[in-house]
């Protein structure tokens, strides 16, 4: 019995994280959805809603496959930080995160070939050191922040900004490997059953 797995994400980081544990999606289909937060929506609710919406969008055209989707939301208190698209946004994110703790909320959604939706939320607490203006500007020049939730990528230059981390490191990169493997296993997906 072939286990078909579709990753509903174009993120190369998520693909790489899955490869580390020998999970190779059969297809990668980026879900095109509106990621705008709803009025008054809590950060964790946003992460879960978007992950489910991505999975459901891809499931419609692929009803007999496992559909795996994820969304990462960076929150400082109740404030949701954007996926930085320009230098101004990235600078504002870094200035806000400087010297503070924030939450990286990873929503994971899996739809089984029977149409059942399973979900998990991974919450990682990250403590930034106090950043100097020079550190912020050097990071802005690097362009590593582009398209990243909260305006930074933990696996690059910003690793020098991280004072402490509580929870899943891979969640901050883009996908909690532990939670994903557990979710897939519990749903009956087996990478070894693919051949």
pLDDT digits (tens, 9 = 90+) for 141-191: 999 999 999 999 999 999 999 999 999 999 999 999 999 999 999 999 987
Domain boundaries, the chain: 5-194
Nearest C-alpha neighbor of 3 from the set 94, 148, 82, 114: 114
User: Do strands 5-7 and 66-76 pair parallel, antiparallel, or not at all (unpaired)?
Assistant: parallel
Q: Are 109 and 119 in contact (CB under 8 A)?
A: yes
Q: Are 89 and 141 in contact (CB under 8 A)?
A: no
**69-90 pLDDT per residue, tens:** 999 999 999 899 999 999 999 9
Q: What is the model's pLDDT at position 191?
A: 74
Q: Are 148 and 185 in contact (CB under 8 A)?
A: no
Dihedral sign from CA coordinates of 121, 124, 130, 133: negative
Active-site residue 34, yes or no?
no
Dihedral sign from CA coordinates of 15, 16, 19, 20: negative
Q: State whether residue 41 is helix, strand or coil.
A: coil
Q: What would the two tokens of residue 88 be?
A: 């101004």
Please name the residues in contact with 130: beta carbons below 8 A apart, sequence gap of 6 or more.
Answer: 98, 99
Q: What is the model's pLDDT at position 195?
A: 40
Instruction: Please name the CATH architecture into which domain 5-194 falls.
Output: Alpha-Beta Complex (3.90)
DSSP per-residue string spanning 137-156: HHHHHHTTTTT-BTT--TTT
Catalytic residue among 26, 45, 71, 123: 71
Of the chain, the end-to-end C-alpha distance in Å amounts to 8
Q: What is the pTM of this model?
A: 0.94
């Amino acid at each position: 019995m072939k286990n078909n797995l579709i990753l509903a994400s174009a993120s190369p980081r998520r693909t790489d994280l899955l490869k580390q544990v020998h999970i190779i999606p059969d297809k990668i289909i980026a879900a095109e959805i509106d990621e705008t937060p709803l009025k008054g929506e809590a950060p964790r609710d946003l992460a879960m809603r978007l992950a489910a919406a991505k999975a459901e969008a891809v499931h419609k055209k692929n009803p007999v496959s496992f559909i795996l989707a994820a969304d990462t939301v960076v929150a400082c208190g109740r404030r949701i930080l954007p996926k930085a698209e320009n230098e101004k946004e990235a600078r504002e994110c870094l200035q806000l995160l400087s010297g503070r703790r924030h939450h990286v909320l990873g929503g994971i959604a899996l739809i089984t070939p029977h149409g059942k939706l399973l979900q998990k939320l991974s919450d990682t607490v990250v403590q930034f050191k106090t950043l100097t203006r020079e550190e912020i500007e050097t990071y802005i020049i690097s362009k590593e922040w582009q398209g990243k939730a909260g305006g930074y990528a933990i696996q690059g230059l910003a690793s020098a900004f991280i004072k402490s981390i509580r929870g899943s490191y891979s969640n901050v990169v883009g996908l909690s490997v532990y939670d994903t493997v557990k979710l897939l296993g519990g749903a009956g997906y087996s990478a070894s059953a693919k051949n």
